[in-house]
């Protein structure tokens, strides 16, 4: 019954996102309400805005995702406050599903280097086996007790306290291109970033899910973001 996963999903539920909205918003500043509908040079304008860090035109759009990720990822995710809206599955109102994160052996689990600038490298077979066995044991045991406590009349909000941080939870996440670029700049690791970031791998997986949709919905904005060093304007 217990399920282990090692992926994150970020499904696009609704959106109102386009490069055009960025260019239109910017032209209100420079042309006013008479801004024509010409797309002549949206991508040039968008690149200019990104480079000069004019951030506000990137806020007039919206993407809503249904994201599934373990709680330790949500804890990092929800530190992003500005331009983010959340509705997460509640352990007070519903029984949580027995779905847990288990890193597979493509996840580098050994940390090397000194504080502040770590690198992660692959583990040994023994280490991956130990992780798998400990994770399985703890998840199964704690979920059994979680269910038993509820069967014995203990409230969901109390019983859930002993569930581990790798249990999955899902949430609606609504953001705009500006807040998303801030998220991407901090939660992905890219060679060509002007400011290097060292995100935990699992939140980066969520970020990459967002990034794929973003690149498709707003190709000029995305390409300007990449071209200008992944700095959020």
SS3 64: strand
| Integer Cα distance of 35 and 208 in angstroms | 35
Q: How far is the CB of 212 from its own copies (least distance, A)?
A: 19
Q: Which CB sits closer to its own copies, 72 or 215?
A: 72
Which residue, 36 or 111, has its beta carbon nearer to its own copies?
A: 111
Q: Which is nearer to its own copies, 1 or 115 (CB)?
A: 115
DSSP string over 176-209: -HHHHHHHHHHH---TT-SS-----HHHHHHHHH
Cβ atoms of 103 and 200 within 8 Å: the answer is no
Task: Tell me whether residue 157 or residue 212 sits nearer to its own copies (CB atom).
Answer: 157
Q: Note if 187 is an active site residue.
A: yes
Nearest distance, CB of residue 24 and its own copies, angstroms: 7
Burial of 146 (0-12, 13-18, 19+ CB in 10 A): buried
**What six digits make up the tokens of 96?**
């949580």
Smallest gap from residue 151 Cβ to its own copies (A) = 10
The single residue of 53, 187, 201, 230 carrying the catalytic annotation is 187
Closest alpha carbon to 168 in 82, 67, 77, 86: 67
Quote the least distance from Cβ 9 to its own copies, whole Å.
9
Q: Supply the residues annotated as catalytic.
A: 187
């Amino acid at each position: 019954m217990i399920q282990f996963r090692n992926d994150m999903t970020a499904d696009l539920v609704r959106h109102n996102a386009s490069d055009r909205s960025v260019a239109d918003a910017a032209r209100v500043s420079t042309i006013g309400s008479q801004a024509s509908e010409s797309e002549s040079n949206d991508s040039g304008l968008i690149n200019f805005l990104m480079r000069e860090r004019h951030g506000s035109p990137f806020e007039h759009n919206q993407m809503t995702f249904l994201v599934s990720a373990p709680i330790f990822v949500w804890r990092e995710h929800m530190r992003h406050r500005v331009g983010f809206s959340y509705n997460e599955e509640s352990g007070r109102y519903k029984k949580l599903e027995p779905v847990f994160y288990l890193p597979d052996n493509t996840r580098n689990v050994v940390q090397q280097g000194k504080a502040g600038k770590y690198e992660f490298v692959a583990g040994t077979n023994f280490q991956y086996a130990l992780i798998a066995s400990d994770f399985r044991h703890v998840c199964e045991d704690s979920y059994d007790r979680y269910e038993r406590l509820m069967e014995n009349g203990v409230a969901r909000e109390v019983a859930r306290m002993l569930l581990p941080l790798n249990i999955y939870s899902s949430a609606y996440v609504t953001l705009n291109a500006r807040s998303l670029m801030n998220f991407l700049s901090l939660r992905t690791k890219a060679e060509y970033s002007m400011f290097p970031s060292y995100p935990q791998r699992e939140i980066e997986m969520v970020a990459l899910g967002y990034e794929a949709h973003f690149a498709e919905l707003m190709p000029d904005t995305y390409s300007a973001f990449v071209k200008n060093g992944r700095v959020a304007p």
